Amino acid sequence: MKRFWFILFVVLVAFVAGLTGGYLGGMAVSRQAGPGAGGLPAAGFVTQASVPPSDETITLRTVNIDTAITQAVEKTGPAVVTIVGQLPDQMTFFGRVSGGTSSGSGVIISESGYVITNNHVIEDAESLTVILANGDERPARVVGTDPFSDLAVLKVDGELPAVAELGNSDALKPGETVIAIGSPLGDFKNTVTTGVISATGRSLDSGNGYLLENLLQTDAAINQGNSGGPLVNLAGQVVGINTLIVRDSQASNTVVEGLGFAVPSTSVRAVADQLIANGSVARPYMGIRYQTIDPAVARRYNLPVEWGVYIASIDPQGPAAQAGLQTGDIITQIGEFPLDENHPYLNALFHYAPGDTVTLKVARGAELLDFTLTFTS
């Protein structure tokens, strides 16, 4: 009997001990995992409020990115072309070597198939192919070229994807947004870059004895292959033909960026009209062969003036001879333009047209003389 009560006592103690341990253990867990631990709900007490409602939906919205720039590109882009020229073969010590190809850009300016580009894009090519914006390839022929303005007109036949509109470059202001479209490196056709008009009326030395005048300066990215492509305003009008970039300054050995230049559309229109009508631009003819004089030349040869052109020979039937000029004379001024570093001879001459009459200022020995001359073509 005693044994029975002893066993019952042990069982009761074990039962009470189990209940007490479970209660205390639960309290410890509840305190450790309660709201004080990172703000999480207490373990074992997840409520309905802690689960976010699931009846909400996420909506994906499409943003309309149709801007003035995209509209301008959509308007003019289809009229932009890539121009590929086949260069003549070269004779070397090892025999004939293929001349390879050149590439540039252009833009269709007429429903008749006329394409404007740079003269330097096509001047050395034996044959030309125009690649339209839709990928079609067409043979092209040269209608006319004008090295002085670095412009040329080509013609292609067949249906055209679009024709660009020429705008008024005279209305451009520094800071105005512009878009350059072209084929940099010949591979990335109809590439679009944007920038602003940095300045107008710029002049750059062509390296051929005259200045490229009245250029538009822009910071829109222009690279090799962009030459001949359009510079476009936000109305989708062509306001310039991209012509060259300046990468560094030889004088200061400085690398520069964002210096691109374009022929203004007012000049493009005037030159293109003459090239289409006549195949060339009518330039005034004076009838002389000359040597440019600058201060260094003047000091070396002890000349009476620092700037001008020395007449080395003269066409006996030309306007200069008819006006009374002689070999050895030095022309110092043509009309209103004194010949100096800002007004090279050809720039001063080409401000006039065949048929214009001007007064020339001429140094003959120690004398300064005036002559009246009428230009021919």
Instruction: Name which of 83, 72, 77, 74 is nearest 133 in CA terms.
Output: 77
146 catalytic residue (yes or no): no
Query: Element (H or E) spanning 194, and its range?
Result: strand 191-205
227 catalytic residue (yes or no): yes
Rounded CA-CA distance 5/3 in Å is 6
CB atoms within 10 A of CB 374: 13
Task: Using the structure block, give the residue that is written with the tokens 């909506």.
Answer: 59
Catalytic residue among 169, 198, 227, 267: 227
Query: Element (H or E) spanning 72, and its range?
Result: helix 68-76
Residue 266, judged by CB atoms within 10 A of its CB (0-12, 13-18, 19+), counts as middle
Query: Element (H or E) spanning 266, and its range?
Result: helix 265-278
Catalytic residue among 102, 103, 105, 120: 120
- Asked if residue 117 lies in contact with residue 124, where contact means CB atoms within 8 angstroms, the answer is no
Question: In Å, how far are 41, 78, 305 from 37, measured between CA atoms?
Answer: 8, 65, 95
Catalytic residue among 102, 103, 105, 150: 150
Contacts of residue 261, defined as CB under 8 A and 6 or more positions apart, other chains included, come to 202, 204, 212, 215, 216, 217, 218, 242, 243, 244, 245, 246
150 catalytic residue (yes or no): yes
Instruction: Name which of 204, 360, 214, 212 is nearest 290 in CA terms.
Output: 360
> Catalytic site residues?
120, 150, 227
